[in-house]
Amino acid sequence: MVHGEIWTIKELWVLPNEYIIWAIQIVMYPFMTGLVAGSFVLSSLYHVFGIKKLEGIARFALVFSFALLPGALIPLLLHLQHPERSINVMMTPHFTSAIAAFGIVFSCYFAIVAAEIWFLYRRHFIDHSRYLQSLGKDRTFGQRVLQLVHTILTLGSFETSEESMRKDHKAIKLLASAGIPVALFLHGYAGFIFGSVKANALWLTPLMPVIFIVSAVVSGISLCLLSYIIVSEVRSRRGRRRLGKGKLKGAAPSVDISVIKMTSKFLLIFLATAVSLELLDLVFRGYTALNSWRILKDALYVRDFRNIFILQYGLGAFVPLVMLLLPRLTLRRTVVATLLVLWGVLMMRYNVVIGGQSFSQTFAGYMHYKLPVIPYDVERLKEGLVGALIVFSFPMLLFYIYSKVFPVFPRQPHSPD
Amino acid sequence: MSADIPESMPHGTETSPAVQQQPAESGARRAVSRRDFLKKTGLLAAGILTPAVALEVIFGLKGAGAAQAEGLATAAKTTPHWQFLVDTNKCVGCGFCVKACKLENEIPYTLNASRTWVERHVITKDGESHVDSPHAGQYGFTEPEIDLGEGKTLAIAPEDISKAFFVPKLCNQCNHPPCVQVCPVGATYKSPDGVVLVDRKWCIGCGYCVNACPYGARFFHPKYHTAEKCTFCEHRISKGLKPACVQACAFGARQIGDQNDPADPVAEVVATRRVEVLKAEFGTDPQCFYLGMDAEVR
């Protein structure tokens, strides 16, 4: 069986070698990098532009961005026919290819985020390491391990003078500023990968990188907002329960609604821009009606109508737009709206990646995509529903682990948790 | 030890040599050791690199460079530039070319992909175009019904047909190949004789080239899991043989020639007759030329 045949159904005149080659993992790849870039931009809004109301979510967003990074890498590895050769991209990068820069941009971005996190948490590592050491021989095994981890993370720097803290702050600002263009580039070039394929009538548009970046910011902010609310709620509920048992040292605060309102305003701006750009692209294609339009109009308005206009624009953009615009924003409404926005962005990636391959280059045939649900074999596991779920859930697990070392909420100094 | 220093004692006096020496020594040790460390590392690196570089310069680089320059100079004179000529007027849709190609290039008959294929175009009197290529045309077109995919067929009455013809297709070995442009690792490349090749040992299998080809010429090899495509049978033409499909065609619908050979009949046809290429609008400069092409063919 030729690669792609498992999930492709051909209809009418499709060339013999045409199949949906880029499947669900290539939908996940821009979705995950979008979340990475978006959450980084959100944290930078505070660190660079000093939007004070975002202070509560800035650390959270930065650590989340760091945890999401492997999420941008895993789908590619699962998609490659020869993942063991993936290092070739670094060994012999062929720079006329948009993908060749991936290794460099990705490593660069990884280094920036890691460095920013280090500067941000340096004081915490020092304090925590000293605190755990001060416990002396009463330390549990877990505390000993944590102490070792924290001591290693200080990288040997125990300087906590005011001067050094000022320098740290400066470094954070610098890294956050440098990170914005790199994050946008990381994602914009994912858009370029598609936008520059001249053989594909749907992908070929210079608007593609811009659309990708804006929708990336939309998805990143949504995910941060959503998880911020969930984590805060869980913490405050756990706090209340502990308070009931009389074990609490300091009650965890519940969600700060002003943070939510401010963040959702940014979400609204980016969401409106994303939808406008996508509609502009659609209108332009219809108006210019090039040769490819004869199949594109059928693909967009008839065959993929449900996916594009109901699931993506309707449910994923219009409904949350109205929900966020209505006065007296509540937490519950924000949660539903952000979930819908995330869904909308995922559908947008799906409609671009799969939709772009759903018609033949002959403009006279169609290909339907059937997502492999049950993993009968490795191919169906890697590039099926299970693979996509692994890609999505791995960063969440990583974020949980990271949050044990990098506290994403301000906490009582020296409180073991 | 610092407890031994009297509070009033000025530092640097000889009265407390041990105390005074201690920080100075540790400071010196730190500074010197770091500098030493860097120095020694540098020396070590240089030491390792020198013989390697020297060897390369003396024997490797120089020799290879000179040989390469020499090779290129002679190659320019003798290297062919392969061109393919398809005369659609001569094609009867027997599919022997597809079979020969699959056999020659180890592509399973049962695989629903092929390095080359034959299309059947039927244009009816109402202006509608109906095209198919069942099994890439390898078993010929024995059924009059048009294959619509998903097991459906369309029967067309002979009197409704205004024109019908066959079009063999293969890789166009473009002079500006988009597949080569997008390969992130340089595993696919244009060889000096104009043929686009794939390095099966270096291809990572990302599929970018497959999607970038406007002609649908590429697919994944079921065994090697790397990008697969027509090579004009590079392994044959480089030995003076004809590609398998050309050899298998009993009607002369498929021909190959060398653009750089003034006496080559194919090159002469391409140069002097009115020939068409596929999808010229993509700016790929295809090297497959067609005689008797129709505007309906994409």
Within a domain: B67: yes
Three-class SS state of B146: strand
Cα A19 to chain center, whole Å? 28
- Per-residue pLDDT of B248-274, as tens digits, reads 999 999 999 999 998 999 999 999 999
Q: By residue range, what is the domain housing residue A187?
A: 8-405
Q: Where are the alpha helices (DSSP H) in A80-206?
A: 88-91, 102-134, 141-153, 162-195
B203 CB near a chain A CB, below 8 Å? yes
Q: Is the ipTM of this complex over 0.90?
A: no
Same domain, B108 and B144: yes
pLDDT value, residue B77: 58
B248 & B226 share domain:
yes
* The pair of three-digit structure tokens given for residue B150, joined into one six-digit string: 């998903």
**CB < 8 Å to A364, chain B:** 129, 131, 298
Among A398-412, B171-185, B192-206, B260-274, the minimum mean pLDDT is found in A398-412
Assess whether B21 and B92 both reside in one domain.
no
In a domain, B113, yes or no: yes
Chain A residue with minimum CA distance to B130:
A13
Burial class (CB in 10 A: 0-12, 13-18, 19+), A390: middle
Question: For residue B88, which phi and psi values (nearest 5 degrees)?
Answer: -65, -20
Q: Which residues of B touch A5 (CB under 8 A)?
A: 112
Domain end residue (candidates: B50, B78, B106): B78
Q: Is residue B230 part of a domain?
A: yes
Q: What distance in Å separates residue A189's CA from the closest CA in chain B?
A: 13
pLDDT of residue B76: 53
Helix (H, G, I), strand (E, B) or coil at B129: strand
Tell whether A335 is covered by a domain: yes
Task: Please tell me whether residues B32 and B134 are part of one structural domain.
Answer: no
SS3 of residue A136 by DSSP? helix
Q: Hey, what are A340's tokens?
A: 């819908």
B164 and B45 share one domain: no
d(CA A117, CA A125): 11
* A27 contacts in chain B (CB < 8 Å): none
Asked if residue A176 belongs to a domain, the reply is yes
**What stretches of B175-287 adopt beta strand conformation (E)?**
188-190, 196-198, 219-220, 227-228, 254-258
- Listed in sequence order, the DSSP H helices in A357-412 are 378-382, 385-405
B280 → chain A, closest CA residue: A199
CB A356 within 8 A of CB A18: no
Contact status of B182 with chain A (Cβ, < 8 Å): yes
- Nearest C-alpha neighbor of A228 from the set A204, A259, A250, A205: A259
Instruction: Please report, for chain B, how many H helices and E strands are present, in that order.
Output: 8, 12
| % of chain A exceeding 70 in pLDDT | 95
- Count of domains forming chain B: 2
In a domain, A280, yes or no: yes
Positive/negative CA dihedral, B233, B237, B241, B245:
positive
Q: Inform me whether the pLDDT recorded for B24 exceeds 70.
A: no
Q: Which residue of B has its CA nearest to A204?
A: B212
Which residues of chain B neighbour A105 with C-beta distances below 8 Å? Answer: none
Query: What is the count of structural domains for chain A?
Result: 1
Chain B interface test: which of A13, A88, A366, A377 (most B C-beta within 10 Å): A13
pLDDT band at residue B10 under the 50/70/90 scheme: very low
Minimal Cα distance from B226: which residue of A? A81
Pair (B266, B129) in one structural domain: yes
Q: Is residue B27's pLDDT more than 60?
A: no
Residue A408: its pLDDT value, please?
83
Contact A322, A330 (CB under 8 A): no
Nearest CA of chain A to the CA of B95: how many Å? 14
Mean per-residue pLDDT of chain A:
89
* Chain B: residue whose CA lies nearest to A92: B185
Quick check: A193 and B207 CB within 8 A? no
What is the mean pLDDT of the segment spanning A279-286? 93
pLDDT digits (tens, 9 = 90+) for B54-110: 555 555 544 444 555 555 555 555 799 999 999 999 999 999 999 999 999 999 999
Q: Which of B28, B43, B78 is the last residue of a domain?
A: B78
pLDDT at A383 over 60: yes
Residue A389, domain member (yes or no): yes
Q: CB distance B202–A88 less than 8 Å?
A: yes
Mark whether B52 and B88 lie in a shared domain: no
**Which of A80, A94, A198 is opposite residue B205, by nearest beta carbon?**
A80
| Of residues B109, B264, B246, the one with CA closest to residue B170 | B246
The CA distance from B64 to A39, in Å, is: 51
Whether A106 has a pLDDT exceeding 60, the answer reads: yes
Given this model, what pLDDT does residue A54 score?
Answer: 80
Q: Residue B58: what residue type?
A: I
Q: Which amino acid belongs to residue A55?
A: E
Q: Is residue A414 part of a domain?
A: no
CB contact under 8 A, A88 and B298: no
Asked whether residue B139 falls in the same domain as residue B95, the answer is yes
Do B62 and B93 lie in a common domain? no
Neighbouring C-beta atoms of residue A56, cutoff 10 Å: 22
- Tell me, yes or no, if B142 comes closer than 8 A to chain A by beta carbon: no
Phi, psi angle pair for B189, to nearest 5°: -155, 160
Query: Structural domain of residue B25, as residue ranges?
Result: 12-78
Shared domain check, B95 and B71: no
Looking at residue A223, the DSSP 8-state letter turns out to be H
What CATH number has the domain bearing residue A50? 1.20.1630.10
- Please report whether residue A79 resides in a domain: yes
A51 burial class (0-12, 13-18, 19+ CB within 10 angstroms)? Answer: middle
Question: Are A38 and A219 spatial neighbours (Cβ–Cβ below 8 Å)?
Answer: yes
Between A127 and A50, residue with greater pLDDT:
A127
Candidates A80, B202, B242; CA nearest to B189 is B202
Residues of A in contact with B204 (CB under 8 A): 80-83, 85-86, 88-89
| B213 has a chain A CB within 8 A of its CB | yes
Which of B32, B55, B78 delimits the end of a domain?
B78
Selected residues 144-163 of chain B with any CB under 8 Å from a CB in chain A: 148-150
Report B:224-283 residues touching A (Cβ under 8 A).
225-226, 282
Q: CA-CA distance, B41 to B61, in Å (whole number)?
A: 27
Domain-located, residue B234: yes
Tell me the mean pLDDT in the region A124-143.
88
Q: Evaluate whether A369 touches A21 at the Cβ level (below 8 Å).
A: no
Question: pLDDT tens across A177-205, in order?
Answer: 999 999 888 888 889 999 999 999 999 99
Is residue A328, in this structure, part of any structural domain at all? yes
For the stretch A20-47, pLDDT in tens is 999 999 999 999 988 888 888 888 888 8
Percent of chain B residues past pLDDT 70, beyond the cut: 79
Q: Which of B112, B144, B158, B71 is nearest to A3 (CA)?
A: B112
Instruction: Mark yes or no for CB contact A5/B112 under 8 Å.
Output: yes
Flag whether B123 is in a domain: yes
Residue A269 structure tokens? 């701006």
Minimal C-alpha gap between A97 and chain B (Å) = 4
Question: Residue A354 falls within a domain, yes or no?
Answer: yes
In angstroms, the Cα distances linking B170 to B87, B220, B289 are: 13, 15, 11
**Contact predicate A117/A65, CB 8 Å:** no
> A47 is written with which tokens?
């660190």
Higher pLDDT, A343 or B298: A343
B114 and B169 both lie in a single domain: yes
pLDDT of residue B158: 94
Nearest by Cα to A266 from A224, A312, A315: A224
